[in-house]
Amino acid sequence: MMPYSNKAKKLNEDTLFFLFYLFGNDYIQISAANELYRRDWRYHKDERIWLT
């Protein structure tokens, strides 16, 4: 079985955002955030939004 982070590379951005917000404080949220970051998205901690 592939680790979730490898599977995240195949997901579209809408799905990654969904997983990020649905699975707070979970490994899935971290994997989604890492993949979004890899795709040049940045999370603004004060505003709590993703920016590109």
Neighbour count for residue 31 (Cβ, 10 Å): 22
Q: How much is the pTM?
A: 0.86
Tokens 């993949």 label which residue? 35
Question: Do residues 18 and 11 lie in contact, with contact meaning Cβ atoms separated by under 8 Å?
Answer: no
pLDDT classification of 4: cutoffs 50, 70, 90: low
- Tell me: pLDDT of 1 over 50: no
3-state helix, strand, coil in the chain (%, to 5): 50, 10, 35
What are the CA-CA distances from residue 20 to residues 27, 42 (Å)?
A: 10, 13
Dihedral pair phi/psi, residue 50, rounded to 5°: -90, 140
Per residue in 7-43, pLDDT (tens digit) is 889 999 999 999 999 999 999 999 999 999 999 999 9
